[in-house]
Amino acid sequence: MMNTMLLNTPQSLTVLYQDKDLVAINKPSGLLVHRSPIDKRETRFAVQELRNQLGQHVYPLHRLDKPTSGVLVFALSSEVARFYGQQFQEHEVRKTYLALVRGYGPDQLSIDHALKDEADDYAGIAGGGEAKQALTHVQCLQKFAIPLTVDRYPTTRLSLMQCQPITGRKHQLRRHLKYIGHPIVGDSRHGKGLLNRACEGYFGAGRLWLACTQMVLTQADGSELKINAPLEADFAKLLLGLQEGVSSHAEHISFPRSAWEC
């Protein structure tokens, strides 16, 4: 049952769910989960800030990239961390993301494309080696066309994609969407720089437009725990703007707003 005793001040992390075992926050884009040698200048970390906010130690059960927003879950004891950590390890946790991508994405597709490890200093992974199985299910929720000239195209096509990674490879969604020719807008590593800069100017905001909006875990009694996160204000505002200004020439697929307002 959700604990509503915690109040979120402007400086606080937004708590989505808390019980005696777990706490889940809505991680903002731009916040690191923990210290990383990749970004030594950062002084804010979700682990440290949540620990200070709750006044107790927390154990992150998974990771979200710094620019990705959404559901981030922590255990409140080492025993609980081991229990739920096994579910993440065995890919039993169901995750749902929303991504704004380049082009008109496929209505539905299962992307079964093996990925090599990307270097991860924090986890002690050198990168490379043999490619490992990676599977992602994607579904197009809505398609847009905006009057933005990029390269030789006078109109820019975009899609809102719902993504469900079945495996958990590093940058899996970003790499899989690039693989099918629909990189996420704002992805500085796997996306298109020209498109990213043009969209940032057009939208008046720049970030990786990727968010984890739902996570489903299995509790000790076998029941499901479903944790939902609303989109950050900038992401929600962007989608509303796209909906209001959608071109009459775009292929428009309607969908319930609850799909992304959670």
The set of catalytic residues is: 65
DSSP-derived secondary structure for 192-239 = -HHHHHHHHHHHT--S--EEEEEEEEE-TTS-EEEEE-PPPHHHHHHH
- Helix/strand/coil (H, E, C) string of 142-206? EEEEECCCECCECCEEEEEEEEEECCCCCCHHHHHHHHCCCCECCCCCCCCHHHHHHHHHHHCCC
CA atoms within 13 A on the CB side of 126: 3
Q: Compute CA distances 156 → 141, 147, 250, whole Å.
A: 17, 6, 10
Q: Which amino acid is at 46?
A: A
**Alpha carbons 47 and 159: distance in angstroms, whole number:** 33
Contact 138, 161 (CB under 8 A): yes
What is the gyration radius of the CA atoms in the chain, in angstroms? 19
Q: Which two tokens stand for residue 231?
A: 């989109």
In 3D, which of 245, 253, 235, 262 has the Cα closest to residue 142? 253
Q: What are the percentages of helix, strand and coil residues in the chain, rounded to 5?
A: 20, 30, 45
Terminal CA-CA length for the chain? 18
Q: CA 126, CA 55: separation in Å to the nearest integer?
A: 35
